[in-house]
């Protein structure tokens, strides 16, 4: 067998992608599985966006584009940043990639050297640390525990910043916890970051549209304008417009970083899919009225799932303010044995046994850096969620 690259030895396969793939394969084999493992809205992409893509095909917009995106999309991105985030940026200071994930990858690869550190709050989205490792740098973790609503405190942030810190990754609303920082909380983190001019901020705002109740979305470049020149503000249409498969993410940030990202992109994917870019122009410039309808649906599902999980003995679930995830603790249930005879000592064993025995796919908390939990995505139909809650309750109640 060929020897693979040493860099691959530094990373694990993505757990969110892996478990979702496993669930899809089980369904193909005829198994009855409810997959609540992927962070993916269950709504169809809105019709006007699909039509824009069809028009683009018919008009022959099927060729290579500018590396960092067509000018129409960069204009739409700049307009979006001004409209929603009060960020006044030029279209040339905007960059488009194949999904938010590629934007993060490009940004880290374009900026990190060996010895550099990247501060990542725990729990984190699975791919942040491994992307840092791929770039040859070192992830440094700061615990955002349940007591603080899974939000990082300014004190904890300051404790882990060193001379080597190149980036601080901030993701609000958060994957996997749904924790959402208020403008005031961002200001407090910003006050710490002000003192460390070597630190850049990667603000992953992909769940911006999914904030519930009286809470309001805020982004750090808006709240702390003095940090804007060292902040990369990242967003995309995947979660907001139910366009995960179209692969369009975008950002604005320091010009030299965007130039580095473009250099990298020119040697990898060349440009994001031309048809998807035209669809994204429509997504950003077209009607946005469905967003609030979807938000209401998600909020209702969140309330149903949180209540359903807290009704199960041994599960403890906070009510998150945003995104479409819950991240409950199952610590009390560890050490018990399932009906199928599995001794469950870890959260990973818990989710694997639940998938095998009761057909519900979740992601174990340790994949996000916090053991003793699982992540459930409630971006699924009410019927699926109700059935999943019944199955999770049956599984947990039968643990001996
Ligand atoms: N971001 C989503 C998730 O966490 C999609 C899968 C992925 O790329 O990780 O489930």
Model confidence pLDDT, tens digit, residues 102-119: 999 999 999 999 999 999
126 CA closest ligand 1 atom index = 9
| Distance from Cα 130 to the centre of ligand 1, integer Å | 14
Q: Above 90 in pLDDT, residue 2?
A: no
Q: pLDDT band at residue 1, thresholds of 50, 70 and 90?
A: confident
Greater confidence (394 vs 13) lies with 394
Query: Could you tell me the two tokens for 134?
Result: 């791929």
Q: Which whole number is the average pLDDT over 197-201?
A: 98
Q: Is 1 a domain residue?
A: no
Q: Above 90 in pLDDT, residue 73?
A: yes
Q: Is the CB of 101 under 6 A from ligand 1?
A: yes
Which of 253, 285, 317 terminates a domain? The answer is 285
CB atoms near residue 28 (< 10 Å): 9
- Confirm if 58 and 400 have CB atoms less than 8 A apart: no
Strands 165-171 and 138-143: unpaired
Whether 153 and 211 map to the same domain: the answer is: yes
Whether 259 and 171 map to the same domain: the answer is: yes
Whether 139 and 158 map to the same domain: the answer is: yes
Q: What is the reported pLDDT for 140? A: 98
| Distance from Cα 68 to the centre of ligand 1, integer Å | 23
Could you tell me which residues come within 8 angstroms of residue 206 by beta carbon, excluding any fewer than 6 positions away?
100, 171, 175, 234, 235, 236, 238, 239, 240, 249
Into how many domains does the chain fold?
Answer: 2
39 CA closest ligand 1 atom index = 10
Domain containing 246 equals 47-285
SS3 373: strand
Helices 127-134 and 100-111, axial angle in degrees (round to 10): 40
Domain CATH for 257: 3.40.640.10
Q: Which whole number is the average pLDDT over 213-219?
A: 95
| From 37-41, 43-47, 333-337, the region with the lowest mean pLDDT | 37-41
Please state, for a pLDDT cut of 70, what percent of the chain lies above it. Answer: 100
391 CB-contact burial (10 Å; exposed 0-12 / middle 13-18 / buried 19+): middle
Q: Is 208 a domain residue?
A: yes
| Distance from Cα 397 to the centre of ligand 1, integer Å | 29
Residues 117-146 have pLDDT tens digits of 999 999 999 999 999 999 999 999 999 989
**Which residues share a beta bridge with 251?**
95, 234
Query: Could you tell me the two tokens for 78?
Result: 């700049």
Query: Could you tell me the two tokens for 98?
Result: 């194949």
CB atoms near residue 270 (< 10 Å): 11
Q: What is the reported pLDDT for 268? A: 97
Whether 231 and 296 map to the same domain: the answer is: no
Q: What is the reported pLDDT for 181? A: 98
Residues 263-314 have pLDDT tens digits of 999 999 999 999 999 999 999 999 999 999 999 999 999 999 999 999 999 9
Sheet hosting strand 138-143, strand order edge to edge:
94-97, 249-252, 231-236, 200-204, 165-171, 117-122, 138-143
Q: Which whole number is the average pLDDT over 337-351?
A: 97
């Amino acid at each position: 067998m060929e020897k693979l690259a040493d860099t691959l030895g530094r990373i694990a396969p993505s757990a969110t992608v892996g478990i979702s793939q496993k669930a899809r394969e089980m369904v193909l084999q005829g198994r009855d599985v409810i997959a609540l493992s992927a962070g993916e809205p269950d709504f169809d992409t809105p019709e006007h966006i699909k039509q824009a893509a069809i028009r683009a095909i018919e008009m022959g917009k099927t060729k290579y584009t500018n590396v960092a995106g067509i000018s129409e999309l960069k204009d739409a991105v700049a307009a979006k940043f001004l409209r929603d985030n009060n960020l006044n940026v030029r279209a040339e200071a905007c960059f488009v990639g194949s999904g938010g994930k590629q934007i993060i990858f490009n940004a880290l690869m374009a900026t990190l050297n060996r010895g550099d550190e990247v501060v990542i709050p725990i729990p984190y989205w699975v791919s942040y640390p491994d992307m840092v490792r791929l770039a040859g740098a070192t992830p440094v973790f700061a615990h955002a525990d349940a007591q603080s609503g899974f939000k990082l405190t300014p004190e904890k942030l300051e404790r882990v910043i060193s001379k080597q810190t190149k980036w601080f990754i901030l993701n609000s609303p958060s994957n996997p916890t749904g924790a959402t920082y208020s403008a005031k909380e961002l200001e407090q983190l910003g006050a710490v970051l002000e003192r460390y001019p070597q630190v850049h901020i990667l603000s992953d705002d992909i769940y911006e549209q999914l904030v519930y109740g009286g809470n309001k979305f805020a982004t750090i470049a808006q709240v702390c304008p003095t940090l804007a020149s060292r902040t990369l503000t990242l967003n995309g249409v995947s979660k907001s417009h139910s366009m995960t498969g179209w692969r369009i993410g975008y950002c604005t940030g320091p010009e030299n970083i965007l130039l580095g990202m473009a250099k990298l992109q020119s040697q990898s994917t060349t440009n994001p899919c031309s048809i998807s870019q035209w669809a994204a122009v429509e997504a950003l410039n077209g009607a946005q009225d469905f967003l609030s309808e979807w938000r209401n649906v998600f909020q209702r599902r969140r309330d149903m799932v949180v209540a359903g999980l807290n009704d199960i003995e041994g599960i403890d679930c906070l009510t998150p303010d945003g995104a479409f995830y819950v991240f409950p603790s199952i610590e009390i249930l560890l050490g018990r044995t399932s009906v199928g005879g599995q001794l469950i000592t870890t959260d990973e064993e818990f989710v694997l046994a639940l998938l095998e025995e009761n057909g519900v796919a979740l992601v174990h908390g340790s994949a996000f850096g916090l053991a003793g939990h699982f992540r459930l995505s409630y971006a699924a139909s009410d019927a699926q969620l109700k059935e999943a809650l019944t199955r999770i309750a049956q599984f947990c109640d039968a643990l001996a």
